[in-house]
Structure formats: C-alpha cells, structure tokens
Amino acid sequence: QASSVSAVIHAMCSAGDREIAGRFAVLIWILWNNRNNKVWNDATESGQGLGYKAKQLWHDWFSVQTLQNGRHQNPEQLQPIQWQKPSHGWFKCNVDAGFHKELNKTSSGWCIRDHLGRFILAETTWMDGNCSILEGEAIALLEALKVMTQRGISHVIFETDSKTVVDAIHHLRGGSSEFSFIIRRINNILLCNPNFKVKFVKRQANMVAHTLARAAISWPSRCTFETLPLCITPLLNNEMI
C-alpha cells in the first residue's frame, strides 16, 4: 500500500509494535552496511545470511536491554537462570565464542560435564582474524562437535547462547555464505551422531564456556584441559550445588 521506501519505513516504525520496529531498524542498518561493502569491497552476503545476522544483532541488543531493565526491578521478582545438569547417562557440553577486535583474534571455549555436574574436559582455541558474531559462534560449536566425535563421546547435549545458530541448524538449507557452509558441516556431524543434541541456553547459564572463550587468548592457540582450569573453578563449583 506504500508508494515509496520512506513510506514503508514510516509505516513499519509507526505500527505500535516496538519489537517489530526494532528488528526492522536493525535489518535496514544491515542492508545499508551490505550495500557499502559492495561499493567499497565488491563483497556481498546472501539475503538469508543478512536476515540471520540482523536477527542475532537484535537478539543481543534486546538481551542487554532486558538485563539492564531487570536491575531496576524488585530482586524478588527476578528468577535466576542457572546451568542445569543433564539426565543420567548424558553429558552436557557448553560452548561459546570470544571476539577480541583489538588483538585481531577470534576465540572459542567449551567445557563438558557429566550428569552430576562434574568436570570431564575443556578446550580453548583462538585464531587470527575477526570473524562475524554468527561465524564465530558457529565455529565454536563445530570445534566442540569435532572433538566429541574424535574422542568417541556420545549422548552429549551441546548448549550455546547463540539462538540464531541453533535456529539455523534446524532451519537453514542452502546458501553460499561462510556461515551457511559452517552450518552444513555442523549438520553433517549431527546426522552421523544421532545422540548429539544442540540447544539454546541464555548467557547466565553459559558462563563457564563464556569465561573459557574470553580467557583463551592467554594460552597457546589450542589448549586441552583434563584437570579443572582455575579460571572456571568457582563457577563450576557453584553450579554443582
């Protein structure tokens, strides 16, 4: 019904739904950046990839706003989100990525625990270059999946705080972007390992992996921990209670 692009933008942002308007504004910003990237670098991403990127950026922003607003609420009204132990016979592997723009590095970290919450194994990696948020989160998950496969560990629930990556695993089909390629590799591993499950979890329940990913650049490019690293000892002990 709109006669111009500006009319479309005005209609979307005046619809009264703040979430739709916010998502729409982020999408426009992503499209504008993609246009500039085409003009100056002759590089573009697929429409589907841009959509997933916009969704992830909106989700990250909305999570921060929710957390900040929650600080002003009555503490009794806040329900803390904690890491949950897996069922008997299952392991849980928490995964996260770290982004260190000032050092031009992207890192990842994961930690696997048993049904009692006991530490089994952890690993950190980092590589030169700044990945996009989506690519970094997907690569972190891919690294954890590869190690579990190589070690023959089955019945593993993988948790990541990137909802967009989890949604892409379940719904993204095709695409020529680097993110799409990583998702296809993840799905290939999942097809070969029916006792692997990938789930989304909020950041508050993923702090062990978050801490490992941030600390990764303090160690060699790949570190495997068969004993509990000091940087996550307090967190893991608290979550076992």
pLDDT of residue 147: 97
- Asked if residues 44 and 34 have their Cβ atoms less than 8 Å apart, the reply is yes
Phi, psi (degrees; rounded to nearest 5) at 136: -60, -45
pLDDT of residue 70: 59
- Render 78-137 in DSSP notation, one character per residue: -------PPPTT-EEEEEEEEEEGGGTEEEEEEEEE-TT--EEEEEEEEEES---HHHHH
Helix residue ranges per DSSP H, 131-240: 133-151, 163-171, 178-192, 207-215, 233-240
Closest to 45 (Cα-Cα) out of 212, 176, 198: 176
- Tens of pLDDT along the chain (241 residues)? 678 888 888 877 776 677 778 888 888 888 888 888 788 878 777 787 778 777 777 776 776 666 666 555 554 444 458 899 999 999 999 999 999 988 899 999 999 999 999 999 999 999 999 888 999 999 999 999 999 999 999 999 999 999 999 999 998 877 778 899 999 999 999 999 999 999 999 999 999 999 999 999 989 999 999 999 999 999 999 898 7
Tokens found for residue 109: 């970290």
As beta bridge partners, residue 199 has: 159
pLDDT of residue 175: 76
Tokens found for residue 96: 């996260």
Tokens found for residue 215: 């600390």
- Asked if residues 154 and 193 have their Cβ atoms less than 8 Å apart, the reply is yes
Residue ranges covered by each domain of the chain: 5-69, 91-240
Give the whole-angstrom CA distance, residue 52 versus residue 115. Answer: 33
pLDDT of residue 9: 81
Quickly name the fold that domain 91-240 has.
Nucleotidyltransferase; domain 5 (3.30.420)
